[in-house]
Amino acid sequence: MVLKKRIYYGGFHGLLAPVIPKAPRSSRKRISRHKSSDGGEICAFELLAAVAGKLLEESESSTSSIGSEKGVKHELPEVNVKPAGSEYHDQASGAESEVVVKPASIDLKIEPPLKEVPQSENDSGSDHASNITMSDFIKKDVTHFEGIEDKPEGGSPKPIRAEAVEQQSGGLTAVNNTYSLKDQVASRVNTCVPKSPPSSVHVPLYRDPVPSACYSRYRDNVNTNIRDDDEKYLRYSNRSYTSYNRRRVFGSRSRAESRRIRKMLTYKYWKTSPKLKYYELADTTNGVKSFDHKRKNIYMRERYQAYCASKRRKVFDPSPKSAYVKESSSESISNSVRFSIKSFKVPELYVEVPETATVGYLKGRVMKAVTEILQGQLHVGVLLQGKKVRDDNRTLQQTGISENCNLESLGFTLEPIKPEPSPTLVQKETPLLLPCNTQQDLSRSPSSPITDGEFSNSSPDNSHPVTTLDNYMEKNQGNTTFPAEVTTEEQVADSKALVLVPERDAEVLSMVPLSEKPPKRFEYSQRRTRRPFSVSEVEALVEAVETLGAGRWRDVKMRSFDDANHRTYVDLKDKWKTLVHTASIAPQQRRGEPVPQNLLDRVLAAHSYWSQHQSKQNMKQQKTLVAPM
C-alpha cells in the first residue's frame, strides 16, 4: 500500500529550517526563530542527537567525531539534504519524506514544503501535509533510510542504505533490520532545513499568520466581517430583531458560539496564537454567516497524537498509546546502543478551521501548528523509566541506558520551552493582530469595526502574549532553563506529564505541554479586550438602574445598552458592582477614568434605594410565605 513507503515527511525540514543558521531563508519572518541560533537554543533534535552522541562517544571513541559535540551543538552540521522536492518526492504524492541516516547524523528529510497547501483546494499533492506527524518524525519503521556521506564530520563516510518497509505495527522490530547503524546511533538528528527552498516557504509562515495565500483568501472575508464576535452577532441580531424572542434566540446562539470560539482561539501556551488569530478571523466570518446559513464551524481540536493516529496510524503501531511517548528500542551493537525513536511525545496542538475550508487547508493548518512547535524553543527530554534524565553529562551507561536496560522504558519528548517572552515575539505578533489602537477604540465607535471587536484584544493588550508566556512559565517553573540543560529539578517534577506512561490515555495527556494538569484555562480562553466604561456609559447605566432597579440586568441592557454589543448584561451587572464599590471608597483610591462624583452619588443612592427595595420585597415574600402557614 501506499502507506508503506510513505513517511511522514512532512516538511519538517522546512519547518525547522528557519532555525538553521546556515540556511537563511526569507529573512522576513524569521525573526523569532533566529534567535535560536545565537541564543542558547538548539535544535530540539540536536539535543537528542547530543545524547546519542555522548553515548557514542562513550562507546566508540573512534567514530565519535560527533561525540565531540557537547550536549549542545550550535552549529548545525552540514546537512546533506537534498533539495526538497528534488528526488524525494517526485513521487506521486510527493508526500514522502525520508530520513537520512548518516553515520554520524540523521537528517530528516522533508518533502517539498507544502508550498501553499493550505489554500490549495488541492489534494493532489497535499498529502505531504497530512503526512507530517511528530511521531513520525523519526520513525524507524516507516522510513527509508539513506546513507549519506558525511562530509565534515564523518571522516569516513559510511553510507548506509536501508529501506525500511513500514511495518504495520511493530515498528521497532523492523527497523532494526532495515538499517544498520553499526557504529553510529543517530548521533545527530538534524532537523534543520535543507538548503533548498523556497519551497519551504510555507514554513516560514511561522509567525506570520497571514502569509499564506489561503489566509488572504479568508482575509477578504474577514475584513468585512471582522470584529468582535459578540458585537457581530449582536449587531446582526439587532438589525433583524423584530421580536424579542427571536432576538434572544439569535443572541444566545451567537453568543455562545462566539464565546466558544473565543475560548478556543486562544492557545495560551503556544506560539500558535498568531495563527489562531487567523482562525479566529476565519471563524468569525463563518460565524456571521452561520446566522443565515446555519453553517457551523467545526472546531477541531487536534492533538498531535490524534492527528498522527488518524492520519498515519496505519503506518505505526495501531495503538494510540504508542504515540504518547516515543517508544524506543535499542539494540546494542558492540558497545553502542541503538535507539529507535518511534515518536516523540509532543505538545498538544489545536487547530481550528472552518467547516467550509478545504482539506488541503486543514492540512496546511496542521502543518503550521506543527511547524510552530518545532520552531519554537523546545528541547528533547529523555525519559528513562518514566523519569527524566537531566544530567546531560552522564554517559548512557551511567544513566543506565544500555542494552541491558529496559529500553522499553526509554522515551523522548519534545518539550516546549518558553524562555523569556521575547520582545521579538510580541512584536511579531502584534502586527498580526488587528491593527488598531486600543486607546482610541476603547471609546468604541461603531465605525471602527475592526478595532471594535475582540480581535483587537491581542494587540491592544499586549498582555495577552505576555500573559500567556507568564502563565506558561508559572506553570512550568524551571522550564525556562536553557534547552541544553536538559532539565532542572522542577522540570523533573513537572515532567510527570511527559513521563512515559504507556497505560495512560494518550488522549488526555498528550497535549499537555509540561505539566500534568494544565489549568483548564490553558486550553483556550482569551479574555476579551478590556473596555473601560466611559462616563456616558456609566451615566446610562446609572439612569437605567435608577429606573429599573439593580438586578434587572437584562432589562438594563435592553434599555440602555442594546446597541452596545460588547456590553453584556453581565458586564453591566459587574460594572454596577464596581461603581458601588467605587462610590464607597475614597476618591484617592479610585482608579481609571474618574467618574463624576454626581454619578457616584446617584449610584449610591440607587444602590441604597434598590437594596432597601429588595429587602422589602424579601420581607414581603417571607411574610407571604410564612403567613399562610
Partner DNA sequence: GTTAGGG
Partner DNA sequence: CCCTAAC
| Binding region for DNA (CB under 7 A) | 248, 251-253, 255-256, 262-263, 520-521, 525, 527-531, 550-555, 566, 569-571, 573-574, 577-578
Contact 164, 140 (CB under 8 A): yes
Axis-axis angle for helices 31-38, 423-432 (nearest 10): 170
User: Which string of b and e fits 301-324 if b means at least 16 CB within 10 Å?
Assistant: bbbbbbbbbebbbbbbbeebbbbb
CB of 257 to DNA, least distance (A): 9
CB of 497 to DNA, least distance (A): 21
State CA 99 to chain mean position distance.
25
| Residue closer to DNA, measured from CB, 89 or 247 | 247
Distances in whole angstroms, Cα of residue 13 to Cα of each of 194, 214, 216, 409, 415: 6, 21, 25, 28, 18
Whole-angstrom distance, CA of residue 291 vs CA of residue 286: 9
| Residue closer to DNA, measured from CB, 405 or 550 | 550
| Residue closer to DNA, measured from CB, 297 or 413 | 297
Query: Which three cell numbers mark 450?
Result: 475592526
Whole-angstrom distance, CA of residue 464 vs CA of residue 269: 11
CB of 439 to DNA, least distance (A): 14
Contact 96, 7 (CB under 8 A): yes
| Residue closer to DNA, measured from CB, 253 or 314 | 253
| Residue closer to DNA, measured from CB, 521 or 623 | 521
> Residues 6 or more apart from 67 whose CB is under 8 A from it?
53, 54, 56, 57, 58, 61, 187
Contact 68, 78 (CB under 8 A): no
| Residue closer to DNA, measured from CB, 521 or 620 | 521
DSSP string, 181-235: -SS-----EE-PPPS--GGGGGGGGGG-SS-SHHHHHHHHHHHHH-S-HHHHHHH
Whole-angstrom distance, CA of residue 571 vs CA of residue 563: 14
CB of 455 to DNA, least distance (A): 13
Contact 304, 133 (CB under 8 A): yes
CB of 234 to DNA, least distance (A): 11
Contact 355, 297 (CB under 8 A): yes
CB of 555 to DNA, least distance (A): 6
CB of 480 to DNA, least distance (A): 25
CB of 347 to DNA, least distance (A): 21
Whole-angstrom distance, CA of residue 603 vs CA of residue 582: 9
Distances in whole angstroms, Cα of residue 218 to Cα of each of 118, 352, 357, 361: 11, 14, 10, 11
CB of 535 to DNA, least distance (A): 15
For residue 162, what is the enclosing H or E element? strand 161-163
Phi, psi of 119 (to 5 degrees): -75, -20
CB of 531 to DNA, least distance (A): 3
| Residue closer to DNA, measured from CB, 307 or 472 | 472
Q: Which of 220, 12, 3 is nearest to 119 (CA)?
A: 220
| Residue closer to DNA, measured from CB, 74 or 253 | 253
| Residue closer to DNA, measured from CB, 158 or 528 | 528
Strand pairing partners for 49? none
| Residue 516 CB burial class (10 angstroms; 0-12, 13-18, ≥19) | middle
Distances in whole angstroms, Cα of residue 621 to Cα of each of 80, 246, 480, 617: 83, 33, 59, 6
| Residue closer to DNA, measured from CB, 74 or 263 | 263
| Residue closer to DNA, measured from CB, 111 or 257 | 257
| Residue closer to DNA, measured from CB, 4 or 554 | 554
CB of 526 to DNA, least distance (A): 7
Strand pairing partners for 464? none
Q: What angle do CA 449, 451, 452 make, to 5 degrees?
A: 60
CB of 231 to DNA, least distance (A): 11
Whole-angstrom distance, CA of residue 216 vs CA of residue 120: 12
| Residue closer to DNA, measured from CB, 300 or 550 | 550
Strand pairing partners for 100? 107, 146
| Residue closer to DNA, measured from CB, 31 or 466 | 466
| Residue closer to DNA, measured from CB, 373 or 548 | 548
Q: Which residue carries 528500542 as its cell? A: 329
CB of 592 to DNA, least distance (A): 12
| Residue 28 CB burial class (10 angstroms; 0-12, 13-18, ≥19) | exposed
Return the SS3 of 546: helix
| Residue closer to DNA, measured from CB, 35 or 263 | 263
Region of 400 (left: φ > 0; alpha: ψ -120 to 50; beta: rest) is left
CB of 571 to DNA, least distance (A): 5
CB of 554 to DNA, least distance (A): 3
Whole-angstrom distance, CA of residue 188 vs CA of residue 83: 19
